[in-house]
Amino acid sequence: MLWLCAHLPQMGLEMYEGSPACRQASVVIDERKIHLMNGVAKEAGIALGSSLATASSLAPDLVCYKRDEQAEKEYLEKIVPVAYRFTPRVSVSLPYDLMLEISGSIKLFDGVDRILNLLKHALRRIGHESFIGIAHTPSAARVLAHAKISTPLPEYPDTETVRNNTLTCLRETSLKYAELAPSDIERLSNMGIRSFGELLNLPRNELGKRFEKTLLEYLARLVGSTFDPQKYTAPEEQFRSDIHLLDPVKDRPSLDVHMEQLSLELVRWLQPRQLGVVEAIWTFSPFDDEGISVPVRFSHPRTRVSQILEFSELALESFDLPKEVISICLEATRVDSLLNTGATHRDLLGTHEVKPVLPGDLLDRLTARLGIASWQLLRNLDDHRPECAWSPSNDREYECGSPPFFTPGQRPLWLFEPPLPVRRKHFELLKGPERIQSGWWEGNFSRDYFVARHESGSLCWLYSNEEGWFQHGYFS
Amino acid sequence: MSGLQTLLSKDFIWRARDLAVGIESASGIPTGFDSLDRLLHDRGWPRDALLEMLVDNQGCGELRLIMPGLRHLLHQDTRWLAWINPPFVPYAPALHSLGIDVNRVLLVHPNSHKEALWALEKILESGSCSAVLAWLNEQELQGKQLRRIQSRAKENRVWVTIFRPSRVARVSSPAEFRFHIHSSRSNTGDRMVLSVLKRKGGWAVNDVSLRLQWHPNALSTDYMAGRWNLWRRLEQTKEITRRIA
């Protein structure tokens, strides 16, 4: 087992800020004490643990967030998909750690260092600074990550090397990073024991007599002499994510930023599943009213942020958004496997085109801006009844129809849908009749079709039945 | 001198002798009508231009006139044929009997003139359609919009055909080709008479009579023989040029 702990020390603050390049002092307070702060606040001389009043006096324009542990937990679970790229065994360790078991992924990613760099990079891209510790047990990895110590490891380490290197590193590490009760740490410190090395050198039996059992258990988990099971997170079955804003958004550009963030989350959710989104719903809610839902449909599963955004923005153009949006929600209502589409237009030998390639981008653009009813594809059906010999479709699961096996008479290029009642006297019959009849089980009609010329010279397709004369099309 | 040479090498410069020699520039889409091919500069429908079809009544063969060309175009590659705002339903079995691949026909029904222009432009830009047939709202259609369609068609190499009433014949238009289809009171669907109001590389021609076919699923023998002769002459010219070189 090889454990990697990604410690996000500033996550509690970064989850509110979005961009790390904030030029204003900001802090997170927990029980009226400064819990986290950004670089600007630090420069202003604010110290962790000081009171809000002290901080405000040092930085008058201080932005202050209240710590919400439930929100922090939800947020941490939301960024787990970043880690699924590296291993399926990911667990969340509160408050600010992600634990990854990476022994099975080293070869795939060509070395521990690459996993480490890629993970750091991926976390930085979503706005988080991270410190990573690697060890043979979860507890040791956590200690190393918190202490910001990187274990020297070969590219493909075996368990024994990791164990030895971890224990060497731990020896020098201060005990304040141990997950022990603060009172225990203080007592040990009073006894002159300040690093893990000193603690581990003490005989366990004697230590057990003087401290609670939890200390021995912790040490056993730390060095790996007892098993430390972790609860792996399970990926969400459905995608739905919202952003609740602190200040209402009034203009489109700033709305776009948040939409991009949600799309990015959606893509991160889709990618490890090899899925693409086919239908999604955006909901934009004002402060005190029902939100407006904007559905977006795609002709085939989409996997790119840029495409999802482009078609979503086209769809937004035909909706009136609330003046002030306070929360944005994106829900994927239909997803589909990427395996069913894409490169599989051809048959096995690649010689015969099975199905025409749908102009997917174009259709999605039309759907987004003009609505799903704005376009149609045509299909031939093998049926002798004129109105049943074709069918429109705007389904992405579009199947080619079969052309009619046999068409006896002439068929017009323009069809009237429905047929138009006409006066016989305006027409001169040129050819006909062609009798078209249907059975009692399919509408029961019998019509005599004629090719006729209208007074203006237009060539028309007429039929007569017991109800009179009808025009069914033009021979254009 | 070199300035003149570069100018002459441009596509849009037409020289009268081109039409006389003609056969090298058989780059158009064969219309399916030999007499019409001969009138057109590229020996066929344009591959990258706006064409106006002026016609007052439906049902005088205006679609059957362009169907052989469209069929040829659809057979060439995998691109689609788009119909924007068609006045009625294009009837799939009839299209099929004229040799059009119905599975690559896209119908667009915009709700307004603005939407129609938007859709037309997107279709041209998408590169997924090789030909577009459009019926636009005459009340709102402006010259600058037509100019934009023409330039977009040129850029993206799409054949755009717009159907308009014949009363706009006197209004100038940026379209490269304009045809007027005469409606005849004794129309039997076998013949049609059209005037070429405007064409690239030539003057207007009046009263061209064409024989329309009902089921030209296979090209007519006469027409095929004509194309064959043209191709042979082209090969012969090439051969001669090669020998001289």
Looking at residue B204, which CATH number applies to its domain? 3.40.50.300
Burial of A466 by CB count in 10 Å (0-12 exposed, 13-18 middle, 19+ buried)? exposed
pLDDT for position A289: 80
Is the distance from CB of A153 to CB of A161 less than 8 angstroms?
A: yes
pLDDT for position A20: 47
* Cβ–Cβ gap B106/A410 under 8 Å: no
Helices (H), A351-432: 360-370
Any long-range contacts for A30-35 (C-beta under 8 Å, 24+ apart)?
A: A30/A66, A30/A67, A35/A67
**Domain housing B143:** 26-217
pLDDT for position A184: 86
> Is A385 in CB contact (< 8 Å) with chain B?
no
Highest mean pLDDT: which of A240-254, A355-369, B33-47, B221-235? B33-47
- The pLDDT confidence band at residue B137, using thresholds 50, 70 and 90, is very high
Is pLDDT above 80 for B43?
yes
Provide the residue count of chain A. Answer: 476
pLDDT for position A326: 86
* Cβ–Cβ gap A377/B183 under 8 Å: no
Q: Determine the Cα–Cα distance for residues A437 and A171; give it in Å rounded to an integer.
A: 94
Structure tokens at A150: 């990187």
The verdict on residue B55 lying in a domain is yes
| A381 to chain B, closest Cα gap in Å | 8
| B219 to chain A, closest Cα gap in Å | 18
Mutate to test the interface with A, among B53, B67, B103 (most CBs of A within 10 A): B103
pLDDT for position A463: 92
* Cβ–Cβ gap B108/A473 under 8 Å: no
| A466 to chain B, closest Cα gap in Å | 25
The verdict on residue B20 lying in a domain is no
The verdict on residue B175 lying in a domain is yes
The verdict on residue B7 lying in a domain is no
The verdict on residue B224 lying in a domain is no
- B102 vs A contacts (CB less than 8 Å): 378-380, 390, 401, 403
**Average of per-residue pLDDT across B98-116:** 90
Phi/psi for A124 (5° steps) reads: -65, -35
pLDDT for position B21: 43
- B117 vs A contacts (CB less than 8 Å): none
The verdict on residue B8 lying in a domain is no
Low-confidence winner among A247-251, B98-102, B211-215, B232-236 (lowest mean pLDDT): B211-215
Give the 3-state secondary structure of A97-141: EEEEECCCCHHHHCCHHHHHHHHHHHHHHCCCCCEEEEECCHHHH
The verdict on residue B209 lying in a domain is yes
Nearest to A331 by CA among A395, A396, A236: A236
The verdict on residue B229 lying in a domain is no
Residue B193: strand pairing partners: B182, B209
* Closest residue in chain B to residue A404, using alpha carbons only: B93
What are the pLDDT digits (tens) for B74-106?
888 888 999 999 999 999 888 888 888 888 899
The beta-carbon neighbor of B59 closest among A373, A380, A474 is A474
pLDDT for position B132: 95
| A427 to chain B, closest Cα gap in Å | 11
Residue, of B133 and A371, whose pLDDT is higher: B133
- A460 vs B contacts (CB less than 8 Å): 59
pLDDT for position A22: 59
* Cβ–Cβ gap A403/B59 under 8 Å: no
- The pLDDT confidence band at residue B216, using thresholds 50, 70 and 90, is very low
What are the helix and strand counts (H, E) for chain A?
A: 16, 18
- The pLDDT confidence band at residue B219, using thresholds 50, 70 and 90, is very low
Give the pTM: 0.65
Q: Determine the Cα–Cα distance for residues B166 and B168; give it in Å rounded to an integer.
A: 5
Q: Determine the Cα–Cα distance for residues B21 and B27; give it in Å rounded to an integer.
A: 14
* Closest residue in chain A to residue B213, using alpha carbons only: A410
Q: Which residues of chain A have pLDDT under 50?
A: 20, 342-347, 349-354
* Secondary structure of residue A66 in the 3-state scheme: strand
- B80 vs A contacts (CB less than 8 Å): 356, 359
- Contact partners, residue A144, CB within 8 Å, separation at least 6: A5, A133, A134, A135, A150, A151, A166, A169, A170, A173
User: Could you give the domains of chain A?
Assistant: 3-24+61-223 (no CATH), 240-340 (3.30.1490.100), 386-474 (no CATH)
Q: Determine the Cα–Cα distance for residues A381 and A364; give it in Å rounded to an integer.
A: 26
pLDDT for position B9: 74
How many structural domains does chain B have?
1
Q: Determine the Cα–Cα distance for residues A129 and A119; give it in Å rounded to an integer.
A: 11
Q: What DSSP designation does A195 have?
A: B
pLDDT for position B14: 64
* Closest residue in chain A to residue B123, using alpha carbons only: A362
pLDDT for position B117: 94
Is the distance from CB of A8 to CB of A14 less than 8 angstroms?
A: yes
Q: Determine the Cα–Cα distance for residues A10 and A223; give it in Å rounded to an integer.
A: 28
* Cβ–Cβ gap B103/A374 under 8 Å: no
Structure tokens at B25: 């520039």
- A404 vs B contacts (CB less than 8 Å): 93, 96
